[in-house]
Amino acid sequence: MTQDTRLWGARFRSGPDDALMTLSRGDASHFRLAPFDIVASQAHARELGRAGLLTPAERDAIVSTLDDLRAGVAAGELLPVPGDEDVHTFMERLLVERLGDVGAKLRAGRSRNDQAANNLKLYLRVEARQLVQALLALQQALIAQAETHLTTIAPGFTHLQAAQPVLFAHQLLAHAQGFSRDVSRLMDWDRRNARSPLGAAALAGSAIVTSPELSAAELGYDSPCENSIDAVGSRDHVAEFLFAAAMLGVNLSRLCEEVTLWSSYQFNWVRLDDSFSTGSSIMPQKKNPDIAELTRGRAARLIGAMNTMLIALKGLPLAYNRDLAEDKHTTFDAIDALHKILPAMAGMIRTMKVDAARVRHDAGKGFTLATEVADWLARQGVPFATAHEITGALVKYCEEHGKDLESLTTDDLARVDPRLGEGVLAQLTLESAIEARSGYGGTATAQVSMQISRLRHVVHTQSVWAASYDGPMAKRN
């Protein structure tokens, strides 16, 4: 790296060692921030114009040249060279090459500290919306499957043991509800972090940039950051974003675990489409749920990215430290992983076929209707603790006599306990058990139908949010 392309070094007697620059130079992936650095530089040029450091002609020349640079970067015609330490060096080099001393004036009143914080925050605000749009495609796939299987009865599980019958739609929507909260976390993250770091400079604020609220508004923020030290020295907004990504990864992984079970030969509930499955190099009969398994693996990396950022922040004094460069490594890895995961997951769920007859066949296994007996007894005035004991005895009787609850007769009931009247038999059907759960959020058909309707409304609202960003990148795309 030459002295001319570095943004620092005037007080040094020798240039940096290659080992230092190898460690210090931004990873190639970091140069994806160039478009955000450009729009922030244009906002800063206008600020320098207001401060009198740039004439109107100089300001316009910088803004126009930055537009040209943005087009060149987008087209792949302008690329960083080994001497470009980071995206800021890259953009300043190009600007000075074209405008000479006029381009060099742009550095006044700002620091790489506030530039770095701002570039990543702008990037995250755009990515939050793109990730939401990808996640909503998965939501739509889950809703469509739920609507198809609104009458498909399945066993619900606790401890991975058959517990009570539920609608298969209800099971699918349970995952959709978690993803809906993942979206709301990203929306809430965006609201809380719509504050611009520009104007904070190195840490104390700028003696030149005295109207940071104007550049903040230009860049789509609600306001500048309240404290210049906090603006450049904090990355809790990155850690929070990574938590939202990690939580999404966990929720995806739980859905993947169920899909893996459902598609196994032992369950045989769903058949994954060939276009979203892979095979074995040695076992010709295999059809593997690789998307689900790869997503479970990526979830570990998402959790790791969050942990890395938290650990990097834990012992840092304020304000800026180079440790904070981990913000880009962790963020880019998490975002890149999710952009691969989400379309594949949406396709897998959208195209999978459910064997409704097989699912229903399994719904009554494991005495999943036992709670209906206990509830019926409780409604007859039997204390529930006693009802629980009676029902347990009835299940034991069924096991000893090779029966299931749906095949019991009045004679069977009388042999177990006289309080088990004939009326309980009407409760011992899968349909009765489903429709009995008619409270808000329950698995009754009407409730699940209303849940679908409400969720569709939520998805629509979230989709509008994702599409309505009015930040600088949205205005230029």
Determine, yes or no, domain membership for 2.
no
SS3 293: helix
**CATH code: domain of residue 278:** 1.20.200.10
Residue 211 lies inside a defined structural domain of this protein: no
How many angstroms separate the Cα of 112 from the Cα of each of 41, 85, 139? 11, 12, 40
Residues of the chain under the 50 pLDDT cut: 1-4, 8, 477
DSSP element (H, E) containing 306: helix 290-314
* Residue 273 and residue 421 share a domain: no
Residue 472 lies in a domain: no
Q: What pLDDT score was predicted for residue 121?
A: 98
CB within 8 A of 266, min separation 6: which ones?
none
pLDDT recorded at residue 1: 38
In order of 115, 336, 349, 355, the CA distances from 268 in angstroms are 54, 33, 15, 8
Task: Please confirm, yes or no, whether 407 is among the known catalytic residues.
Answer: no
Q: Note whether 350 and 280 are same-domain residues.
A: yes
* Domain termination site, one of 69, 85, 108: 108
234 and 348 co-located in one domain: yes
Q: Considering the domain boundaries, does residue 389 fall inside one?
A: yes
DSSP secondary structure string for all residues of 336-374: HHHHHHHHHHHHHHHH-EE-HHHHHHHHTTTTTTHHHHH
Instruction: State residue 474's pLDDT score.
Output: 64
Which range marks the domain in which residue 392 is found? 370-428
Q: Are residues 374 and 349 in the same domain?
A: no
Q: Are both 96 and 137 inside the same structural domain?
A: no
Asked if 324 and 284 sit in the same domain, the reply is: yes
Looking up residue 44, the CATH number of its domain turns out to be: 1.10.275.10
Q: Of 108, 135, 161, which one is at a domain's C-terminal end?
A: 108
Q: Which residues pair with 161 in a beta bridge?
A: 158
pLDDT in tens, 357-411: 999 999 999 999 999 999 999 999 999 999 999 999 999 999 999 999 999 999 9
Tell whether 156 and 54 lie within a shared domain.
no
CATH number of domain containing 415: 1.10.40.30
As a whole number of angstroms, the distance between CA 405 and CA 270 comes to 27
Annotated catalytic residue, options 211, 280, 407, 438: 280
In a domain, residue 213? The reply is no
Same-domain status, 422 and 277 = no
Same domain, 263 and 353: yes
Question: Is 246 found in the same domain as 184?
Answer: yes
Residues 253, 348: one domain?
A: yes
Instruction: Give me the phi and psi of 207, to 5 degrees please.
Output: -80, -10
| 280 noted as active-site residue | yes
Amino acid at 60: D
Catalytic residue among 14, 159, 275, 281: 159
Are 261 and 375 contained in the same domain?
no
In a domain, 249, yes or no: yes
**Omega within 30 of 0 (cis) for the link into 319:** yes
Q: Are 183 and 137 in contact (CB under 8 A)?
A: no
Domain count, the chain: 3
The answer to whether residue 465 is domain-embedded is no
Tokens of 388: 């629980």
Choosing from 77, 108, 139, the residue where a domain stops is: 108
Rounded to 10 deg, the angle between the 236-262 and 326-351 helix axes is 30
Identify whether 212 is part of a domain.
no
